Amino acid sequence: MTGQTNKNGIRTDVGYKRIATEEAFITRELLDIYVKMLKEGSHDDPGFGSLWGFYATNLQAERPRIINERLQDIGERRIADMDAAGIDVAILSLTSPGVQILPRDLAIAQARLANDQLADAVRKYPDRFAGLVAVAPQAPEEAAKELERGIKELGFKGVIINSHTQGEYLSDQKFWPILEAAEACDAPIYLHPNTLPKGMVEPFIECGLDGAIFGFGVETSFHMLRIITSGALDRFPNLKFVLGHLGEALQYWMWRIDYMHEATVRSKRYESLKPLKKKPSDYLKENVWITTSGQQFEPAIKYAQEVLGKDRVMYAMDYPYQYVPQEVADLDNMDMSPEDLKAFYQTNAEKLFKL
């Protein structure tokens, strides 16, 4: 093949920018708090213990050490890794569970600090980085204010919510000030995985399936579905959600969810499962965008494009958790028109996040 390539053989003249939309970082301060909570046992979340016990305190092993280092860099090292992997722009967000595991006041302060640090990095590398604002859902009114500060003053492009907050979900109306602020700011909410909450996670930990391999997707798809069935999107019809990991598989489920939702509502089996203005799949198609973080699998990407629309599916790498410098070389070669590839890598993200 002719044309220019980088040192890894990745083409640099493809005619589109590669925008990676789910790229994680952590502040030194938050990592120190995680380490302290793990050492003192001052948390009540076995999923957090499993995940961050591995990444934060197990630094002799290779994977946690490298991930730990890469997460903390929002400067030259990350840019070099992006260059090596052919990534032009990274949309950065505070890694899971962010501040959502912390006590309320500490969470509010740490979200602000992370947002200020991320804003500095974006200011320094405006062509390479964009950011999502982190909030503390434990304090919904403060979270709504921080969301607004992040979008209007710091120039962030959306909000990161690392799924449940200490076992509570955005379907609960106490969190709706956050949804209201996101809709008012036209800020997409990236609903990112977290480990399953206490009470659900133990059987997953027992067999080693609590993490990104499967548990994350169970938690996050469930969270999105309960947001939909709660009626939140009838109340906030212009809200935009983003799901990673190819929609956390919801597009595979949607036909059955529609059928069973209709049947279950009609039977009045549950007080909590109420009629909606639209079918569950309509909200997936109209209020949800998805990314390919951790799911660089052409048949699954094409299926998602077919059922959700080609304007709904965007690229994400999930750096540093799934840093595969060669992966865009494969995706560049998907059996897809140049226009569709450009939408996938670049223009869908530019439109949604207003880059």
Question: How far apart are CB 238 and ligand 1DF at their closest, in Å?
Answer: 26
| Residue 83 is among the residues annotated as catalytic for this protein | no
By CB under 6 A, is residue 163 in contact with ligand 1DF?
A: no
**What crossing angle do the helices spanning 46-57 and 62-72 adopt, rounded to 10°?**
90
Binding mask 88-117 for ligand 1DF (x = CB under 6 A): -------xx---------------------
| 212, interface contact from Mn ion, ligand 1DF, none, CB < 5-8 Å by kind | ligand 1DF
Of the pair 176, 353, the CB lying nearest ligand 1DF is at: 353
Count of residues that bind Mn ion according to CB under 5 A: 2
| Cβ atoms within 10 Å, residue 348 | 22
Of the pair 64, 155, the CB lying nearest ligand 1DF is at: 64
Of the pair 96, 117, the CB lying nearest ligand 1DF is at: 96
| Cβ atoms within 10 Å, residue 275 | 10
Question: How far apart are CB 3 and Mn ion at their closest, in Å?
Answer: 31
Nearest of 164, 106, 101, 162 to residue 133 by alpha carbon:
162
CA distance 80 to 10: 14
Q: Which amino acid is at 160?
A: I
Q: Where are the beta strands (DSSP E) in 259-351?
A: 288-291, 313-314
Helix, coil or strand: residue 275 = coil
CA distance 252 to 94: 28
CA distance 206 to 312: 36
Of the pair 192, 261, the CB lying nearest Mn ion is at: 192
Judged on CB neighbours under 10 Å (0-12, 13-18, 19+), 320 is buried
Interface residue with ligand 1DF among 193, 280, 320, 325 (CB under 6 A) is 193
Binding mask 34-53 for ligand 1DF (x = CB under 6 A): -----------------x--
Q: Backbone phi, then psi, for 30, in 5-degree steps?
A: -70, -40
CA distance 305 to 122: 31
Q: Which of residues 205-224 bind ligand 1DF (CB under 6 A)?
A: 211-212, 216
Q: Which of 318, 330, 332, 335 is catalytic?
A: 318
Taking CB under 5 A as the binding criterion, the range among 117-125, 233-241, 313-321, 347-355 that sits at the site for Mn ion is: 313-321
Q: Which residues bind Mn ion (CB under 5 A)?
A: 22, 318
Q: Which residues bind ligand 1DF (CB under 6 A)?
A: 24, 51, 95-96, 193, 211-212, 216, 244, 293-294, 318, 321
Active site residues: 318
